[in-house]
Amino acid sequence: MAGPTPVSALIHAATMVTAGVYMVARCNVFYRISHEWALKALGEHASVWGLLTHDASFVVAVIGGATALFAATMGLTQTDIKKVLAYSTVSQLGYMFLGCGALAFSAGMFHVFTHAWFKACLFLGAGSVIHALGGEQDMTKMGGLRKLIPHTFVTMFIATLAIAGFPGLAGFFSKDAILAETWGAGYKVLWALAVLTAGLTAFYMFRLIKMTFYGTFRGTAEQLQHVHESPASMTIPLWVLSAGAVVVGWFGIPKFILGKENFFEGFLEPVITPLAAGWQPHLHEIAHSTELGLMVTSVVIAFLGIFLAVSFYSGAYPFAMPERIASSLGGFYRLVRDKYRVDEFYEAVFVNGLIKKGGRLLWEIDARVIDLIPNGAAGLAVGLSNVSSWFDRTFVDGAVNGVGNAFQAAFRGMHRVQTGRTQNYALTMAFGIFGFVCLYLLLK
């Protein structure tokens, strides 16, 4: 996530959000079978615990709703412009899984589709802001950029309205589809969490807009001097994506407004395979008045979030209200600002604990237990080789060297009598004959 901004835009708009949601939607038949089996086994009035232990789709919905809210709260306190958008993506991922968990797979995938346009626009827009400020990413050092980089401002403002759920834009239709299906599935608590998340999304996104483009510039004079709009190679994609953030939601206009199945549902209908004859992709039919009321509620909550963001970050000193709130919340605010210390927990438990200390333990076991076998075998082999060497030196070499030494000693004794003189040889022969004669006479 800390890579170049175009890479972040691609990951957050496509790769990261597509992988898991696509697989869940593509495996929809298994989740629907699990849901129907759970209803048969538990009955229509099953408990939450019963659904969690029997219905895989409900587990997906719960994790999705919790993730949406959990990540949205992180975006409230971040000051790095890219981190705000990063946690926004995690929150929107929760929305997508909530839709799939409510068996509204078309709605979940539709939010993947609309989210790609406005989130890519927002990330590339953030890159344009960072480019204009010479690499600065801290929103507390921005402000007043609305007239200095107008193309970036307008496109990011449109994308922000889209993700906040402004009526008629892309995010409005895809979020409303998920909220309506969640309500229709009977998951009222998850619906409430999702609506609250919609308000938080509107708040932290307009907080980003206010801190970045409104008020007075809070950076250095040198930064202000060099602020400039990005070239056409950067602004044209922003305009294309912002246009998509306006119009792509029209592919998913609700049935109660359009009067018939929308294009996106019809496009995905072959993938949502019927389980039995007569099965319809609209699992949760609700009254049009109810759906309209749910839509109005989500719009009101979104506008409330926008209003609070504009109110909090306006005036001569735009950070006065947020600072008072942060001071009153104390440790809880710091906990949220530090992203609930999830990274620190991961570092302590997994990196330092499981990986480093666990690796050290395995190394000790390997060195002190496992290595005893090869080291013991090596020591035995060395000891046997020493015994063999001693036996070779003492007995084998002793016998061979003894024979050689005996021949050398005999040679040293014999070469003295080999004088080369005939009279010596004749005298020696005479002594020899005399000795044999004497021996013969004695024995006889």
- Which DSSP string corresponds to 215-255? S---S-HHHHHH--PPPHHHHHHHHHHHHHHHHGGGGG--H
Assess whether pLDDT exceeds 70 at residue 324: yes
Instruction: Specify the pLDDT at position 277.
Output: 42
Place of tokens 């010596």: 424
127: Cβ–Cβ under 8 A, 6 or more apart, which residues?
Answer: 4, 5, 6, 8, 9, 234
Instruction: Specify the pLDDT at position 302.
Output: 93
Give residue-wise pLDDT tens across range 396-408: 777 888 787 787 7
Beta carbons of 80 and 138 less than 8 angstroms apart? yes
**Of the given ranges (55-59, 79-83, 249-253, 428-432), which has the lowest mean pLDDT?**
428-432
Instruction: Specify the pLDDT at position 155.
Output: 96
3-class DSSP state for residue 80?
Answer: strand
Assess whether pLDDT exceeds 50 at residue 279: no
Instruction: Specify the pLDDT at position 10.
Output: 84
- For CA atoms 360, 361, 365, 366, the dihedral sign is negative
Give residue-wise pLDDT tens across range 216-269: 888 888 888 889 999 999 999 999 999 999 999 999 888 878 777 788 888 888
Q: What is the CA radius of gyration of the chain?
A: 43
Q: Residue ranges of the alpha helices (H) in 165-218?
A: 170-184, 188-213
279: Cβ–Cβ under 8 A, 6 or more apart, which residues?
Answer: none
393: Cβ–Cβ under 8 A, 6 or more apart, which residues?
Answer: none
Residue 271: closest CA among 32, 65, 92: 32
Beta carbons of 199 and 191 less than 8 angstroms apart? no
Give residue-wise pLDDT tens across range 113-136: 999 999 999 999 999 999 999 888
Considering all CA atoms of the chain, what is the largest pairwise distance in Å, rounded to the nearest integer?
153
How many C-beta atoms surround the C-beta of residue 281 within 10 A?
Answer: 18
Beta carbons of 84 and 75 less than 8 angstroms apart? yes
How many C-beta atoms surround the C-beta of residue 190 within 10 A?
Answer: 24
